[in-house]
Amino acid sequence: MLVSNGNYTDTQDTTFAQKPTHKKTLVTVAKGDGIGEEIMNATLSILEAAKARIDFEEVEIGEKVYKNGHSAGITPETWKSLRKTKVFLKAPITTPQGGGFKSLNVTIRKTLGLYSNVRPCVSYNPYVQTKHPKMDTVIIRENEEDLYAGIEHQQTDEVTQCLKLITSVGTEKIIRYAFEYAKVYNRKKVTCFSKDNIMKITDGLFHKTFDRIGAEYPEIEKEHWIVDIGAAKLATKPEQFDVIVMPNLYGDILSDVAAEITGSVGLAGSANIGDDFAMFEAIHGSAPDIAGKGIANPSGLLLGAVQMLVYIGQADIAEKVQNAWLKTIEDGIHTGDIYNPETSTKKVGTKEFGEAVIERLGQKPTTLKPVEYGRGKSISINVEPTKIAKKELVGVDIFLHWNDTADPTGKKRNANTLGDSLSKAALESNTHLELQMITNRGVKVYPNGFPETFCTDHWRCRFQTQNEEAIDYKEVLKLMNKLNQEGFDIIKTENLCTFDGVRSYSLGQGQ
């Protein structure tokens, strides 16, 4: 293993990373759990043999750290190291079962602002068996937002909620990153997946931003798919995709699908890139079922490390390592997970595989396409400052936990009973707010609801001014005070606003 012995660069220009450098770079490294140590040792020995200009500072993360009382599996010493090096090469960890533990990956990504997750998914036909021999797709996933904000609540006896946050700044960053990536890596097309036919405001923002930013890249082909049909096409005809950009949850799921259909999740690496920090890893987990047996495939972590080399300005070493790796795959030297008697020549363990790559350093594949990183790949992102709009308050959605006392079983709750008493309370509140409608799980149930609609104990009650007339928030407080006096159980509120006169809230289904 390489040792940490100085001469590293203190400050790295990581916003505009990937500039060629001949200085040594200090990198934080963690061997994680399960197969982590085996695959990390193989990876580091290849980097050392390739003369990567790197020193490593080793830290401990994962299961042991969780069990020592650190709820996110990471210690203050590791944060200190990451603040210093700004680059993290991380082996997989085992997440302990049970409540109270937070995901280490999500914690690191969000704390360090690693907004972009880049997963190249490539087929290595005919050397690795796959139904999709021509696949070469890069999934670029937004990494910090969406349902992964981790804001969840139980609101009533029956209803739980997870908040989906899509921001204009976060969206612009990831979309710009995807187009810049396509430009720098000579990709021809960027596809966007979203579900804006249903989530018109959140996914709608993602899609609209894609169209707006995409217009700045006339040389790149653009397309958008609703995520369900897009996912189906990705699983059956992946060769039609080049770069795909998507929000966090879809990207989390579909990047695993994409990696698996190339032949094995064990082959894909991933980069988590932020303005000032970056983390590189394999996409698979700690594989406890094969840990300690010396048979794990180190390729995913190695290809993550290759992305790291490009990022820290060592494109020359990245090219040398990846081409040697491609030659090893092409020569049929395979670990058990991709071994196939028809195309493999030798089944090897983790260490032997690493040695086979080292033997081929300086060689290029002959059938598979060699990689070329030239003098490096520099990606820089400039996000436009947020435009402050004229915001006006025109109403409020008040969410109530309400049970119909006439129906203690909860089987046929009568929305009219609730609606009539809320209308009366609003009238008596002496505000400009009137009850406009009530929805249950998004479906309008008052006024004129369908008696067939099943209702839970969670009611969204929309109070608005006539003709969207602007009001002061004091009026909302007055109405809430009145409802509280009447004994209603208020769970939460959402303000109804217009931005520059444009309505910024969804209508109820059936409204």
Min dist CB 90 to ligand NAD, Å, is 7
Phi, psi of 371 (to 5 degrees): -90, 150
Kindly tell me which residue out of 18, 45, 78, 94 binds ligand NAD, with binding defined by CB under 6 A: 94
Residue listed under structure tokens 């699908």: 257
> Considering beta carbons, is residue 75 or 453 the nearer one to ligand NAD?
75
Tell me: does residue 287 bind ligand NAD (CB under 6 A): yes
> Considering beta carbons, is residue 290 or 455 the nearer one to ligand NAD?
290
How many residues bind ligand NAD (CB under 6 A)? The answer is 20
Phi, psi of 65 (to 5 degrees): -70, -40
Buried b (16+ CB within 10 A) or exposed e, 20-45: ebeebbbbbbbbbbbbbbbbbbbbbb
- Tokens standing for residue 54: 């790197």
Phi, psi of 6 (to 5 degrees): 85, -170
- Residues 18-47 touching ligand NAD, rule: CB under 6 A, are 35, 39
Rg of the Cα atoms in the chain: 27
Tell me: does residue 289 bind ligand NAD (CB under 6 A): yes
Residue listed under structure tokens 């960053």: 173
Phi, psi of 422 (to 5 degrees): -70, -40
How many CB atoms within 10 Å of residue 154?
9
> Considering beta carbons, is residue 291 or 425 the nearer one to ligand NAD?
291
Q: How far apart are CA 264 and CA 249, in angstroms?
A: 21
Min dist CB 282 to ligand NAD, Å, is 6
H or E stretch covering 464: strand 458-464
**Binding segment toward ligand NAD, per CB under 6 A, in 219-227, 238-246, 294-302, 360-368:** 294-302
Does a cis peptide bond (omega within 30 degrees of 0) precede residue 126? yes
Residue listed under structure tokens 């390592």: 321
H or E stretch covering 76: helix 76-85
**Binding segment toward ligand NAD, per CB under 6 A, in 44-52, 239-247, 295-303, 355-363:** 295-303
Question: What is 252-298 written as a DSSP string?
Answer: HHHHHHHHHHTT-GGG-EEEEE-SS-EEEEESS---GGGTTTT----
**Binding segment toward ligand NAD, per CB under 6 A, in 81-89, 185-193, 280-288, 340-348:** 280-288
Min dist CB 205 to ligand NAD, Å, is 28
> Considering beta carbons, is residue 133 or 294 the nearer one to ligand NAD?
294
CB within 8 Å of 177: residues ≥ 6 apart? 115, 116, 140, 273, 379, 381
H or E stretch covering 190: strand 189-194
What is the SS3 assignment for 15? coil
Tell me: does residue 432 bind ligand NAD (CB under 6 A): no
Min dist CB 268 to ligand NAD, Å, is 10
What is the SS3 assignment for 317? helix
End-to-end CA distance of the chain: 65
Min dist CB 356 to ligand NAD, Å, is 15
Kindly tell me which residue out of 43, 81, 255, 286 binds ligand NAD, with binding defined by CB under 6 A: 286
Min dist CB 296 to ligand NAD, Å, is 4
Q: Which amino acid is at 15?
A: T
| Per-residue mark of binding to ligand NAD, 331-350 (x: CB under 6 A) | ------x-------------
> Considering beta carbons, is residue 108 or 422 the nearer one to ligand NAD?
108
Q: Which amino acid is at 201?
A: I
Q: Return the residue nearest ligand NAD (CB atom).
A: 285
- Residues 97-126 touching ligand NAD, rule: CB under 6 A, are 105
Tell me: does residue 281 bind ligand NAD (CB under 6 A): yes
Kindly tell me which residue out of 17, 89, 140, 290 binds ligand NAD, with binding defined by CB under 6 A: 290
> Considering beta carbons, is residue 266 or 376 the nearer one to ligand NAD?
266
**Binding segment toward ligand NAD, per CB under 6 A, in 50-58, 109-117, 156-164, 293-301:** 293-301
> Considering beta carbons, is residue 128 or 396 the nearer one to ligand NAD?
128
**Binding segment toward ligand NAD, per CB under 6 A, in 52-60, 89-97, 109-117, 141-149:** 89-97
Kindly tell me which residue out of 20, 133, 285, 510 binds ligand NAD, with binding defined by CB under 6 A: 285
- Tokens standing for residue 470: 């602007």
**Binding segment toward ligand NAD, per CB under 6 A, in 74-82, 277-285, 362-370, 412-420:** 277-285
What is the SS3 assignment for 42? helix
| Per-residue mark of binding to ligand NAD, 253-272 (x: CB under 6 A) | -------------x------
- Tokens standing for residue 122: 């490539």
Q: How far apart are CA 418 and CA 435, in angstroms?
A: 11
SS3 per-residue string spanning 220-245: CEEEEEEHHHHHHHHHHCHHHCCEEE
Tell me: does residue 144 bind ligand NAD (CB under 6 A): no
Min dist CB 377 to ligand NAD, Å, is 24
**Binding segment toward ligand NAD, per CB under 6 A, in 115-123, 217-225, 283-291, 309-317:** 283-291
Site residues, ligand NAD (CB under 6 A): 35, 39, 92-95, 105, 266, 281, 284-290, 296-297, 300, 337
